[in-house]
Each structure stands twice: as structure tokens, then as C-alpha cells.
Structure 1
Amino acid sequence: MAVVTATFVYDGDCAFCTTCAEFIERRIPTRARVIPWQFADLDALGLTQQECEEAVQWVAGSVRASGPDAIALLLQDAGRFWQVAGSALAVAPVRLAAWPAYRWIADHRHLLPGGTAACSLPQAQRDLLFGTDAPRRP
């Protein structure tokens, strides 16, 4: 039986998202690969650029989730304390409240700690302003 490596995909051009991903890598012991969508093989993951621009993504074999559902799966994968938090996030009433909160954060990420004005722009606009050859953060 093949071991499926989960992948958590975020927007690497957004400073707020990158700060959150760095926190995950430092503090949350997930087995998932945490990678910006700009460096991920989206076709192999079965994701589109639009999906990745709209929300973080979780892919583990045939299991796919986005936004707070992806975060819940990431936390459940991390074990112990984090698993409790991930399970709580997956409970129906919490999950229903998490989506509007996630959407608000995503829409205002440029105003949050670590955010920049570029965080508020869709990738197509970032490419127009900064060029498609602009260096990207890993």
C-alpha cells in the first residue's frame, strides 16, 4: 500500500500567507508538505490556479479540502493538541462560522500583520504590476 503524502498549498506571493505557512512549518508537526501554489505542480495535485488564489488547499490522495476545511485537516494530521483543534474546527457549527471568518481574513490579509498591499491583488494583477519573471518567495 502506497503512503500518500498530504500537501497543504498556500499563496506564496502573499506575505501574510507566507508568515502563516512559516508558523505551520515551525510550530505545527504536520506530516504534510507545505508549499506555495506558485511552486506546486497544480496539475498533479488536481488544483487550479483560481482555487489556490481563493483559499488554501489540502490534497491527500482523493481527499481535497479548501479554506478552513483544509486547515482542519492540516491540524488533525499534526496530532495531539492540534488534532483537538482540527476536530473542533470540523464540527458543523464551528465549520459554518469558520467560513465567513476565513473569507474576511482572506479579503483583508493585506491589512493583517505580515501583509502587504500585493496580498490584496489577484495573481493576474500581480503579474501585470511586477512581471511574471519577478522573483517569488519559496
Structure 2
Amino acid sequence: MTATPTFVYDGDCSFCTTCAQFIERRIPTRARVVPWQFADLDALGLTTDQCEEAVQWVSPDGTVAAGPDAIAALLHDAGRLWQVPASALAFSPVRAAAWPAYRWIAEHRHLLPGGTAACSLPQAQRNL
């Protein structure tokens, strides 16, 4: 395991990369923010399928969270200002709505600002 948490995203997706750049510039997390294509997935205990499905948070103890739970973990790690949205994502009614919203965004990310057609394809079909 690593001494710092790791936030893993899809580096082939422009929308995801734009979000990761926002995290790096604006959210004071201790986490290493890395595209899964350049991460040692075995060392992190992740699979390609997990990373293609959702962003991933790997804590120093190896605990893994995905999608909105990963985002909540990242925000929680960022400190006081970010505790409010982190707590909101952990609140049961919000958490119940967060996953369907996350899946919708993930399925439509190619249509969102910064998205490209490559965002809509599974990894196996992106570099043909």
C-alpha cells in the first residue's frame, strides 16, 4: 500500500481529466490524483473494470471506495471547508441519489463540457 491516499480517474476522458485538474488546483487533498492508465493497479488493489466503471479512492490502509463514495472520501480528506459536501454525500438520502446521478454523468460524459467521443467508448475500443 501507499503512505498517501490515491484518487484514480480515467485519463483518456477529457471530462474526467478536466475534473481531475480542478481537484489538483482547487481541492487541498493529500491524495495522489492519477489516471488509471498510468497507475499501478495491482499495487492499488484495483482492476481495469473497476476503473472503467467509476473513479476510485484507495486509502493508505487499502480500503477502496468508488464513484460518489470516492468523491466523498476525497472531499473528507481535503479538510474543514470540504467537510460539508463530503458529509452531504454520506447522508443516506443524498447518497441514494448520488449513485444514479454519478452513473448518468458517467454514461453521458462525452456530451459534457470537455468531453470527447472517446469518453463514451470502453477502453478496449478507444485505441483501435
Give the alignment's TM-score, normalised by structure 1: 0.89
What amino acid is the match of 1:108?
H
Alignment match, 1:26: 25
What amino acid is the match of 2:23?
I
What amino acid is the match of 2:101?
A
- Kept in 1: contact 2:57–2:73 (CA 8 A): yes
Alignment match, 2:62: 62
Alignment match, 1:120: 120
Q: Deviations over 1:66-121 (max 9, x none)?
A: 00000000000001121111111011111010000000000000000000011000
Aligned to 1:86, the other structure's residue is in SS state: helix
- Kept in 1: contact 2:10–2:36 (CA 8 A): yes
Aligned to 1:8, the other structure's residue is in SS state: strand
- Runs (4 or more) in structure 1 with deviation over 4 Å come to none
Which deviates more from structure 2 when the two are superposed, residues 39-48 or residues 3-12? 3-12
Report the count of equivalent residues.
127
Alignment match, 1:75: 75
Question: What is the percent sequence identity of the aligned residues?
Answer: 80
Q: How does 1:93-112 map to 2 (within 5 A)?
A: 93-112=93-112
Structure 2 runs not aligned, ≥5 long: none
1:62 is displaced (CA, Å) by 2.7
Structure 1 runs not aligned, ≥5 long: 129-138
What amino acid is the match of 1:36?
P
Aligned equivalents of 1:25 and 1:83: distance in 2?
Answer: 17
What amino acid is the match of 2:40?
D
Alignment match, 2:51: 52
For the pair shown, the structure with the greater C-alpha radius of gyration is 1
- Kept in 1: contact 2:44–2:62 (CA 8 A): no
What amino acid is the match of 2:64?
R
